[in-house]
Amino acid sequence: MKKKGFNTTALHSDREGKPEHGVLHKPVHPSVAFAYEDARELAEVFQNKRKGYAYGRQNNPTIEALAQKVTKLEEGLSTVVFGTGMAAIGSTLLSLLRQGDHIVSSAFLFGNTNSQLNTFKELGIEVSFVDATDVKNVEAAIQGNTKVVFVETIANPVTQVADLEAIGDLCEKHNLVYFVDNTMTSPWLFKPVQVKASLVINALTKYIGGHGNALGGSVTDTGLYDWSGFDNIYDNYKGSDPAQWGITQIRKKGLRDFGAALAPEAAHHISVGSDTLSLRMDKACANAQAIAEFCEAHPKVRKVFYPGLANHPQHDRATSLFRHCGAILSIELVDSVDCFDFLNALEIVVSSSNLGDNRTLGIPVAHTIYWEMGPERRASMGVADSMVRLSIGIEDTEDLLADLEQALSI
Ligand SMILES: *Cc1c(COP(=O)(O)O)cnc(C)c1O
């Protein structure tokens, strides 16, 4: 049968394989343990000779259904899901890297990822932060011990777009694991496999779940990286098919040993939310484009950061790679407008730290999520004190524009 479209896949993947009791949604299985009538089968599951479930920390039918859905949406080979996006990133890096290895990372990162990579530095993994909007900076940072290049598609809050395609070619040339955080774009706007990513992160908490009611994260192996050339795979995980080595080690070392399992109830919320990913993102991105254009023309706004604006430094790259330019934008207000007064004057837009919710959320980034990193690192990331990040939701466009207009006229 012809390969199905994105939405059909999202909607019907729960029923693939054997439908349980004919139900449309994959049932929520809260059981931690799995019972076997034949103890030999249990042993075979442990020895990877038979597919099956051993213990809830490692897998569960509800969680596996979500993982398979993410694999299909990303057009990858295999996915492991975690309790949060941070757990997905951290567990993956911890399972693949060893002391003395080196990561080249974009300097423009989600604040907690920045913090996490700095922790890895303390543990003896080197990290170089570079401006990844130009592949030359990534190339210049590669060393003999470099194992991984880490980038986000659209970085938050300044919306830089990494040099995704050229970095993919570079990683291929140097046999590096190309690790792309696709949270801001989601597989509806962009599939990192198209730029030769090896591993794709999604914070399922954001657009894929979409409703701000469940935390989750995933890592998808695209199948492009040849793990037989990766030094750090343990012999135990070298099965007959090298394509599976990386994801097996992530599952065993990253998920089983560190234990940041996704709860089955959260997997259910995320899976239901993902049914409408494309509809929500189309609307949120259209709203974001309209708001970016409105803010750009407004005298109380000094700067607007949104890849959908023609003056954005990576506008051409964003429009050629992404279906839409995302639903995150940041603004810098003129000196006469205090960012807290502005946020407090908004009636529809909620002051909140999340993003990827259906509701439009605003946050003064320098004073909140980027506070801990200090003024120097903030300046290097282009985060001004007056910057407000807006995560645009799916409200009616006119209502959002009217809300911003009244709040800017205070
Ligand atoms: C939110 C986010 C994460 C972390 O996800 P959590 O589920 O909150 O842990 C990672 N990367 C990006 C780009 C994010 O926006």
pLDDT at site 143: 98
Among protein residues, the one with the nearest Cα to ligand 1's atom 2 is 203
Among protein residues, the one with the nearest Cα to ligand 1's atom 6 is 85
Q: Give yes or no for residue 364 CB within 6 A of ligand 1.
A: no
Best residue for ligand 1 mutational test, from 110, 270, 355, 381 (most atoms within 8 Å of Cβ): 110
User: Going edge to edge, which strands form the sheet with 102-106?
Assistant: 78-82, 217-221, 199-203, 177-181, 146-152, 102-106, 126-130
pLDDT at site 267: 98
Q: Give yes or no for residue 183 CB within 6 A of ligand 1.
A: yes
pLDDT at site 372: 85
**For residue 381, pLDDT beyond 90:** no
Neighbours of 8 (CB within 10 A): 10
**For residue 377, pLDDT beyond 90:** no
Residue at token pair 């899901």: 81
Q: If you average pLDDT over every residue of the chain, what do you get?
A: 95
CATH second-level architecture of 277-408? Alpha-Beta Complex (3.90)
pLDDT at site 46: 87
Region 250-254: mean pLDDT is 96
DSSP collapsed to 3 states, 264-290 = HHHHHHHHHHHCCHHHHHHHHHHHHHH
pLDDT at site 380: 84
pTM of the predicted structure, to 2 decimals: 0.96
Q: Give yes or no for residue 203 CB within 6 A of ligand 1.
A: yes
Contacts of 105 (CB under 8 A, 6+ apart): 117, 127, 128, 129, 130, 132, 149, 150, 151
Distance from residue 47's CA to the centre of ligand 1 (Å): 34
**E strand or H helix at 218:** strand 217-221
Please give the residue that has the higher pLDDT: either 17 or 371.
371
Distance from residue 116's CA to the centre of ligand 1 (Å): 12
* Band (254; pLDDT cuts 50, 70, 90): very high
Give the nearest ligand 1 atom to 203 CA. 5
**For residue 390, pLDDT beyond 90:** yes
Q: Which amino acid is at 248?
A: T
pLDDT at site 336: 92
Rounded CA-CA distance 341/352 in Å is 15
Q: Give yes or no for residue 85 CB within 6 A of ligand 1.
A: yes
**pLDDT tens, 204-225?**
999 999 999 999 999 999 999 9
**pLDDT tens, 136-166?**
999 999 999 999 999 999 998 999 999 999 9
**For residue 289, pLDDT beyond 70:** yes
Q: Give yes or no for residue 184 CB within 6 A of ligand 1.
A: yes
Rounded CA-CA distance 74/52 in Å is 24
Please give the residue that has the higher pLDDT: either 12 or 174.
174
Tokens of 347: 């009636």
Region 59-74: mean pLDDT is 96
**For residue 14, pLDDT beyond 90:** no
Region 267-273: mean pLDDT is 97
User: Which stretch of 18-32, 94-108, 194-208, 255-269 has the lowest confidence by average pLDDT?
Assistant: 18-32
* Band (310; pLDDT cuts 50, 70, 90): very high
Contacts of 51 (CB under 8 A, 6+ apart): 45
Contacts of 40 (CB under 8 A, 6+ apart): none
> Could you give phi then psi for residue 181, rounded to 5 degrees?
-85, 110
Q: Identify the CA nearest to 203 among candidates 177, 190, 184, 222.
A: 184
Q: Give yes or no for residue 389 CB within 6 A of ligand 1.
A: no
Q: Tell whether the torsion through CA atoms of 23, 26, 28 and 33 is positive or negative.
A: positive
Q: Give yes or no for residue 215 CB within 6 A of ligand 1.
A: yes
User: Which stretch of 195-199, 241-245, 289-293, 378-382 has the lowest confidence by average pLDDT?
Assistant: 378-382
Distance from residue 157's CA to the centre of ligand 1 (Å): 13
* Band (366; pLDDT cuts 50, 70, 90): very high
- What are the boundaries of each domain within the chain? 6-274, 277-408
SS3 at position 351? strand
CATH numeric code, 6-274: 3.40.640.10
pLDDT at site 1: 63
Rounded to 10 deg, the angle between the 264-274 and 61-74 helix axes is 30
* Band (358; pLDDT cuts 50, 70, 90): very high
